[in-house]
Structure 1
Amino acid sequence: MSIVSKALPLVLLTSVLTGCAGLQKTDWPKCAAVGGVTGAALGSIQNSTFAGWGVLVGGGVAAAYCWVHGDGDEDGDGVPDSRDKCPHTPHGTPVDATGCPFPAPAPPPVAEPAPLPKQEVIVIRDVHFEFDSARLTGPDKGELDKVATKLRTEAPSTQLTVTGHTDSVGKPAYNQKLSQRRAHSVVDYLVSVGIPRASFVSVSGAGETQPVADNKTADGRAQNRRVEIRLDR
């Protein structure tokens, strides 16, 4: 037998085993198939009798070598163990090229609420009281309930100043007293629905002295009849 015929089987078998070493363990059937074909070729070099044995021997050796030396994927994430930096990733978890889970997306930034102004004035114009009286009507109380909802979030850390105002109909001295009674009436109701009385640092009446509209018109006079609540935070 020539040197070539003796060396060729060794060269072919070495090539097959080297190729299997680059595969994963799960690829051992491929290695066995290639090894079997190569084994048959090697056996046929000797004679036809050895071709059958070459299939068995070549396939078995190649499969075993692939299983022992092949690169596994223990956690089944598609990244060979030799490159897997996170070898125990839970099944089904998307991973990057290193076998590690993709980082969770950062939560969207939470917008901080705009700071409240240090001072705010709530103007109550829908409270009309009974005619020539400081007594609240049913609709008046409904409007003040809305104001109370806001004030509950402010008190007791906020100081409240309440000032009553009238239009110019009537004598100034009378309007002064009427505006003061109405301011106190508003405060008493707000206290009755849960606003701490200690939050009210001042309750007074300004009468007709601080108009915000023209007293010569009905609409202007309606705007001037009001109660203002100033919030000092």
Structure 2
Amino acid sequence: MSIVRTALPLVLLTSVLTGCAGLQKTDWPTCAAVGGAIGAGLGAIESTSWAGGGALYVGGMAAAYCWVKGDGDEDGDGVPDSRDKCPGTPKGVQVDADGCPPPAPAPVVEEAVVVKEETIVIRDVHFEFNKATLTPADKDVLSTVATRLKQETSTAQLSVTGHTDSVGSDAYNQKLSQRRADSVVKYLVENGVPQSSFVSVSGAGESQPVADNKTADGRAMNRRTEIKINR
């Protein structure tokens, strides 16, 4: 019986200390509580008067051992230092089982959508009556268009087509639409749009109306110049 009383405390104490060694330093209260309970039991083997002393002694030893030998967590990320492959992680950063922040997602690169073909319709350039001469107001409109076209790539191809309403003969309107298309291109080139960008300059006369020629508003819409951009 004396051998049991001698060996049992050593076995239990060793078990407590071994278990505490696998915990973190911050778990010392748990080690103290478990050690205290076992210490009380060991003391009671001798007599009830030893229960309190045993609890204090074994609990203190277990807590101290846990603090000294226990695994720490210096950066407070919840992963013990012995397994933390990324020590010093800033507080509040989510980490994986190895204590490392998850890799940043690869940036999403969106390809710019290039419209292959676009048409600029100029309706506010009406020229002087029965002429292809640009008015000051027409030049203001075309200056804005020139700024827009100069932003295009050097490979952009521009096709300009003049249109008229149905007033007058077909032959006359065909020639008038051509002269007006030429006037528009001439002004754009003078304002910095490369001449080489224009691959086609033509007049369609009254053959391609977009509105009713029987009304004044419809005829105004048909008197237009269209610039088609092919990229």
Q: Which residue pairs with 2:90 in the alignment?
A: 90
For residue 205 of structure 1, report the CA deviation from its aligned partner: 3.3
3-state SS in 1 of match to 2:168:
coil
More displaced stretch, 171-180 vs 10-19: 171-180
Aligned match of 1:166 in 164, 167, 170? Answer: 164
8 Å contact 1:155–1:195 — kept in the other structure?
no
CA contact (8 A) 1:32 1:60 kept: yes
Q: What is the CA-CA distance between 1:39 and the residue it aligns to?
A: 4.5
CA distance in 2, matches of 1:159, 1:41: 96
1:92-126 alpha-carbon deviations (Å, 9 max, x no partner): 3211233221333454x444343423x44433233
Q: Which residue of 2 aligns with 1:112?
A: 111
Specify whether residues 65 and 132 from structure 1 end up closer, same or farther in structure 2 by C-alpha distance, changes over 3 A only. Answer: same
Equivalent residue number for residue 133 of structure 2: 135
Q: What is the one-letter code of the residue matched to 2:176? A: L
Secondary structure (helix, strand or coil) at the match of 2:226 reads: strand
Aligned pairs for 1:50-61 (under 5 A) are: 54=54, 57-61=57-61
Tell me the equivalent position of 1:197. Answer: 195
Matched residue, 2:178? 180
User: In structure 1, the residue corresponding to 2:91 is in which secondary structure?
Assistant: coil
Residue 189 and residue 57 in structure 1: after superposition, are their counterparts in 2 closer, same or farther (change >3 A)? same
Q: Is residue 155–residue 199 contact of structure 1 (8 Å, CA) maintained in 2?
A: no
**RMSD of equivalent CA atoms:** 3.5
Counterpart position of 1:221: 219
- Aligned in 2, Cα 1:57/1:169: closer, same or farther, shift over 3 Å? closer
Instruction: Kindly provide the amino acid, as one letter, of the partner of residue 148 in structure 1.
Output: A
Letter in 1 for 2:201: V
User: How far apart, CA to CA, are the structure 1 residues paired with 2:52 and 2:202?
Assistant: 114
Find out whether 1:12 has 2:12 as its counterpart.
Answer: yes
**2:209 equivalent to 1:212:** yes
- Structure 1 residue runs of 5 or longer lacking an equivalent are none
Which segment is superposed worse, 125-134 or 21-30?
21-30
Alpha-carbon distance change, 160 to 49 in structure 1, aligned in 2, over 3 angstroms:
closer
Change (3 A) 1:29 1:140: same
Identity of aligned residues (%): 70
Separation (CA, whole Å) in 2 of partners of 1:24 and 1:120: 68
- Whole-Å separation in 2 of the counterparts to 1:124 and 1:67: 83
Give the paired residue count: 230
